[in-house]
Amino acid sequence: MARFVFRRFFQFIPVLFVIVTLTFFLIRLAPGGPFDSEKAMSEEALRQIEKAYNLDAPLYIQYLDYLAGLVRGDLGPSLRRPDRSVMEWILLRLPVSLELGLYAILVALGIGLAAGVAASLKPNTVQDYAPMSLAMVGICIPNFVLGPVLVLILGLWLGWLPVSGWGAERFDKVLPAFTLGATYAAYIARMTRGSMLDVLAQDFIRTARAKGLSEARVVLRHGLRGGLQPVVAFLGPAAAGLLSGSFVVEKVFQVPGLGREFVEAAFRRDYTMIMGTVLFFAVLIMFFNLLVDIAQAWLDPRLRHEGA
């Protein structure tokens, strides 16, 4: 297992290098610059600001300097808000995004697993068709549509839940968490149903039932462990989707998280802030994928031997 984790960890290094390189050059190919929107600024003042941030150097020099800073663990200052460094802004906004992502994962797992298991117990019945139909609807509706619809119905028309903010009012985290986790709950429900149907048809399940074990124990203890493997494999990409989806959700619900910070940095052409958030999200997603690989190897030891 240690060799398995070690090998997976060092596979991330070239991926991070490619992400940093592509992001660095793509944001500089986009029209506009970080200080183009500043008015009443003389050309001399603009040249002095660009010199202070090394923006007047050739592009390859800027790239090499940025890589050297990364090796030292320095993401640089924010170009548009230099009162804090990029790392300070990330650490300030990160807890909110992580909390939102955690709530969304709990929503996705809680609703998805319950619906999938319930549907697999009585296939081709109303107990199967009802949750799977809702899951298909959840897959078809993106969160940037679901969010405003929930705000309109539950917030403005019925007045049951607050529609914006984070931590200022009671239950203000319900709508963002449900909006972000609903689509992934639908995917998990359909995946759980399919995998549980396969597992419940296996010989060891019939043997467990023949021994007189209760149906709940057969399903939860013997069936669910095998049925969870596709869901565990899906959690890595799902975590990536939850983080990237939080860009839209945080903007819709005015959540002061890292996703909203990234969107605002993109509009401001804050190069260092964009680079820092992209790199941080990449590391976070790779960490989640590593946890998924470890969980899969624990559930199925054959993966460790195949990897070796």
Q: Write the burial class of residue 56 (CB in 10 Å: 0-12 exposed, 13-18 middle, 19+ buried).
A: middle
Q: Are residues 78 and 233 in contact, defined by beta-carbon separation less than 8 angstroms?
A: no
pTM (predicted TM-score) = 0.76
Please tell me the distance from the alpha carbon of residue 51 to that of residue 54, in angstroms, as a whole number.
Answer: 5
Q: Which domains does the chain have, with CATH numbers?
A: 86-307 (1.10.3720.10)
Which residues have a Cβ under 8 Å from the Cβ of 281 and sit 6 or more positions away?
Answer: 243, 244, 258, 262
What are 216's two structure tokens? 């709940």
One-letter amino acid identity for 65? D
CA distances (Å), origin 42, targets 35, 67, 126: 12, 31, 71
From first to last of its 308 residues, the chain has per-residue pLDDT tens of: 677 677 777 778 888 899 999 999 998 888 777 776 656 667 777 788 778 888 888 888 889 998 998 888 888 888 878 778 888 888 888 888 888 888 998 999 899 888 888 888 888 889 888 888 888 888 888 888 888 898 889 888 888 888 877 877 778 888 999 998 888 898 899 888 888 888 888 777 788 778 877 777 787 777 777 777 788 778 777 776 676 667 788 888 888 888 888 888 888 888 889 998 888 888 887 877 777 777 767 666 665 555 44
